[in-house]
Amino acid sequence: MEEQVILTEKELLEDGFGDHPFYHCLVAEVPSDQRTSEGYTVIAFAMYYFTYDPWIGKLLYLEDFYVMEQFRGFGIGSQILKVLSETAVRTRCSSMHFIVAENNKKSIEFYKRRGAADLSYEEGWRLFAIDKERLMKMSAK
């Protein structure tokens, strides 16, 4: 999956920590004496941003959410989701949206246990993307 990354570190930092951040992050860390065998102290993160739906208003969009395998089951993911929920309520969002890979059954169950509705089944929505090459083609017409 790493081979699919086209974003540079510079772009990531500018987009999230520049004058006008496009996204926000939450991280969970452990003390340095509890670091992972690979030497990491950041053991979980959530990347999110705000978007708008003309039918329901402001949304918090959860773009990415990950807890390292060895730290799952300790409530870290639940705590991050709680902070995201508090952020959504505080900023007057009507909903939090996100996508989950069809084969990620553990995550699907994690969200369902917390009341998430699967809109792909309930409302029939499909996710589409137009890649950069095609965007450039259309914009040149």
User: Looking at the annotation, which residues are catalytic?
Assistant: 111
Tell me the three-class secondary structure of the chain, residue by residue: CHHHCCCCHHHHHHHHHCCCCCCEEEEEECCHHHCCCCCCCEEEEEEEEEEEECCCEEEEEEEEEEECHHHCCCCHHHHHHHHHHHHHHHCCCCEEECCCCCCCHHHHHHHHHCCCCCHHHHCCCCCCCCCHHHHHHHHHC
- The whole-angstrom distance between residue 93's C-alpha and the CA centroid of its chain comes to 16
Separation between Cα atoms, residue 41 and residue 98, nearest integer Å: 26
